[in-house]
C-alpha cells in the first residue's frame, strides 16, 4: 500500500509514521511545511527505514498536485493543522486557512487521483460546551475557531465521500500527551498547546511555573477536566483505521480513555512521578476553554477492537517528563 501522510513531521503524525515504519511494509510519502513540525523528526524517523519526504504547503494546490502526479496513493492520513485554541481565538483566519483550505485542497486531489481511503485527524473540540461525556452523535457546537475549523473540515470530507465514493475514518482526538516509551520522538513544539507538556517542562526545570487557567469551574476541584490519552495509543488507531476500511464503510470515532482528569490532578501526578516540586499559579479562565469534556469510546473499542495499552496517567506523565529531560 502506498500512503501519503500530511503533517508527518509534527507531534501526532510522527508517532503514526513511527508505527507504520516499524510494523508495516507500506510505502510512505510524507508532506510537511515545518510550520510546527521539525526536520530533525524526519531524520530520526529515517533511522527506522527510509521513506520519501517533500517540504510542501497544502494551501498551495499546484505544489501538492505535483507530488500526486508522481505516484498513486492508496490512502491519505491527514494530520497537518493548526491546533492551539487560544491562538485560534486571536487569529481565526489562520485556522480557517490552514485547517479548512488545506483539507479542501487535499480532498480535491484525493478525488481527482482516485485515492480510496482518507483518515482524518479531527478533535473533540467539535462538540463544544454544555456536554460532559460525548458520543460521536452528540450535538456539535464548537465554541472556538479551532473546533469550528475541524468541523468544517469534517464536512468537506464526508460530503465529498458521499458524492465521489472514497471511504474515510474521522478520528476525534481528546487530549494527547506523552512520548514514545523509547523516547525516539516526542512533543518538540515550543509553543505549548498541551497541559501535560507544560507541567513536564516545569518538572524538568525548563519552565518557571505552570498556570491553572481557572479554578472556579463546576468540577471536582474547580479546575478543568479532560480525557487524556497517550500518543502511542492514539497512533495505533490510525493503522487500525486503515485495516477497518478494507472491510467496512466510512465511520467517525472518538479516541480517548473515557475518564476525566482535572488540571490539578495532572500536576499532582507529575510531581509524584518526577519527584520534583514546582511553582503553580491560578490564572483567569481562557476564552474558548470548556469546563469538562470526556470521551465515550465504546464505538471504537467495539468496531475496531481497539484496546489501549497505556491507559495510565502516571505512565503518560513519566514519558512526558523523561522526554523533556532528554531534549
Active centre residues (catalytic):
146
**3 state SS for the chain:** CEEEEECCCCHHHHHHHHHHHHHCCCEEEEEECCCCCCHHHHHHHCCCCCCEEEECCCCCHHHHHHHHCCCCCCEEEECCCCCCHHHHHHCHHHHHHHHHHHHHHHHHHHHHCCCCEEEEEEEHHHCECCCCEECCCCCCECCCHHHHHHHHHHHHHHHHHHHHCCEEEEEEECEEECCCCCCCCCCCCCCCCCHHHHHHHHHCCCCCEEEEECCCCCCCCCCCEECEEEHHHHHHHHHHHHHHHHHCCCEEEEECCCCCEEHHHHHHHHHHHHCCCCEEEEECCCCCCCCEEEECCHHHHHHCCCCCCCCCHHHHHHHHHHHHHHC
Q: How far apart are CA 16 and CA 236, in angstroms?
A: 7
**In 3D, which of 60, 70, 59, 67 has the Cα closest to residue 30?**
67
Amino acid at each position: 500500500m502506498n500512503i501519503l501522510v500530511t503533517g508527518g513531521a509534527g507531534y501526532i503524525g510522527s508517532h503514526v509514521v513511527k508505527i507504520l515504519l516499524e510494523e508495516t511494509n507500506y510505502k510512505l510519502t510524507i508532506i510537511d511545511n515545518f510550520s510546527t513540525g521539525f526536520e530533525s523528526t524526519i531524520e530520526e524517523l529515517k533511522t527506522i527505514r527510509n521513506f520519501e519526504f517533500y517540504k510542501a504547503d497544502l494551501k498551495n494546490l499546484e505544489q501538492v498536485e505535483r507530488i500526486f502526479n508522481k505516484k498513486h496513493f492508496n490512502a491519505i492520513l491527514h494530520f497537518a493543522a493548526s491546533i492551539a485554541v487560544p491562538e485560534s481565538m486571536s487569529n481565526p483566519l489562520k485556522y480557517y486557512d490552514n485547517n479548512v483550505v488545506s483539507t479542501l485542497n487535499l480532498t480535491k486531489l484525493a478525488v481527482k487521483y482516485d485515492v480510496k481511503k482518507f483518515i482524518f485527524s479531527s478533535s473533540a473540540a467539535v462538540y463544544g460546551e454544555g456536554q460532559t461525556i460525548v458520543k460521536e452523535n452528540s450535538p456539535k457546537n464548537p465554541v472556538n475557531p479551532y473546533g469550528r475549523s475541524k468541523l468544517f473540515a469534517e464536512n468537506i470530507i464526508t460530503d465529498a465521500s458521499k458524492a465521489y465514493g472514497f471511504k474515510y475514518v474521522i478520528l476525534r482526538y481528546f487530549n494527547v500527551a506523552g512520548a514514545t516509551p523509547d523516547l525516539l520522538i516526542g512533543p518538540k513544539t515550543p509553543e505549548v498547546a498541551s497541559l501535560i507538556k507544560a507541567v513536564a517542562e516545569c518538572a524538568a526545570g525548563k519552565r518557571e511555573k505552570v498556570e491553572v487557567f481557572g479554578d472556579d469551574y463546576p468540577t471536582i476541584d474547580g479546575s478543568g477536566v479532560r480525557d487524556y490519552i497517550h500518543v502511542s495509543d492514539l497512533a495505533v488507531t490510525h493503522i487500525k483505521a486503515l485495516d477497518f476500511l478494507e472491510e467496512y464503510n466510512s465511520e467517525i470515532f472518538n479516541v480517548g480513555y473515557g475518564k476525566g482528569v482535572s488540571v490539578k490532578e495532572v500536576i499532582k501526578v507529575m510531581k509524584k512521578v518526577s519527584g520534583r516540586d514546582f511553582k503553580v499559579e491560578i490564572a483567569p479562565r481562557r476564552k474558548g476553554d470548556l469546563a469538562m469534556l470526556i470521551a465515550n469510546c465504546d464505538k471504537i473499542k467495539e468496531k475496531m477492537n481497539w484496546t489501549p495499552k497505556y491507559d495510565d496517567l502516571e505512565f503518560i506523565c513519566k514519558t512526558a517528563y523523561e522526554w523533556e529531560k532528554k531534549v
